Amino acid sequence: MIIERAPTKKERAIVDFENKPDWASNLFLIFCAVIGSLALGAMVGWLGELLKFPHPERYRYLAWAVGGLLYLFTTVSFNLSDLPRIRNARLDLLSGTVQQIHVKNPTAILLGYNNTVDPLLALDLGEGKILYLYGQWMFDNRIFGAPEFDQEVLDEENLQKRVNGMPDPYGFPSTEFTLVRMRHCGRVLSVSVVGEYLPPEERTQTLLEPCEYLNESELFDGGIQDIAFLIRAEDTRRKKGAF
């Protein structure tokens, strides 16, 4: 069952956060640019003096200029790539709703891991709906309302077989759960596990390349047997209209 409802106070805070500029990443880029430019300038100046180039300080200035241009290029590229998320987050804010999906007895398929650590899951919800989930958020105990786990007392061998690496009653995917997400930007706000852990079928050869333009959660229309095609087709479509 899929419904749209008003967000709780906690959910609204996350929606508001998604609509703020990513100052942390931009400040980190500035920090890297300053440190990198200073280091590059110092090294080039030292080489100029060592090799007795005329006016070695000019090479230092040139190195600083190159560092500044690299920073400008990286910052512009980063913020342009973040535009789709910003636009979608704005739509979620304006709609004033979140999407709540109650799932019971799904067919679960593990498509593999992107960047070796990010799970890619597909869940057949029935009635021609597929829930696609991706990302390290599945390891975040806060999403599942779970406590902080002491890894030393957990059964590591057992938990390694679980997609989200959590013990009962938080193992995911499960035979029944309720997922709340931002419908447009796809951010998963919470997952309430009700049923038992559902070991997914592994089809790790189905998805061979990362899909960088898809959100961490998506709803597709179609059959689970076509999930790889649906993922690639939607990722390609969004790539063409990304900016």
pTM across the whole model: 0.76
Question: Strands, DSSP E only, in the chain?
Answer: 2-5, 98-104, 107-114, 118-126, 129-134, 176-181, 188-193, 201-202, 217-221
d(CA 137, CA 131): 15
Q: What is the pLDDT of residues 120-175, one digit of tens each?
A: 899 999 889 999 999 999 999 999 998 887 666 566 655 667 888 888 899 999 99
What value does the mean pLDDT take over residues 105-128? 87
Q: How confident is the model at residue 73 (pLDDT cuts 50, 70, 90)?
A: confident
Mind spelling out the 3-state secondary structure of 167-192? CCCCCCCECEEEEEECCCCCCEEEEE
- Residue 27's alpha-carbon distances to 75, 87, 114, 152, in angstroms, are 10, 21, 27, 36
Among candidate residues 123, 33, 23, 113, the one with its CA nearest the CA of residue 70? 33
Give Rg (Cα) of the chain.
Answer: 23
Query: What's the token pair of residue 108?
Result: 């679960």
Average pLDDT over residues 187-205: 88
Overall average pLDDT of the 103-115 stretch: 87
Give 13 or 50, the one with higher predicted confidence. Answer: 13
Q: Provide the percentage of residues in the chain whose pLDDT is more than 70.
A: 73
pLDDT of residue 80: 65
Cα 125 to Cα 136: distance, rounded to the nearest angstrom: 22
More confident residue, 173 or 212: 173
Phi and psi (nearest 5°) for 211? -115, 90
- The distance of Cα 67 from the centroid of its chain, to the nearest Å, equals 29
Nearest to 174 by CA among 209, 156, 200, 151: 200
Does residue 48 surpass a pLDDT of 90?
no
Name the token pair of 140. 């975040």
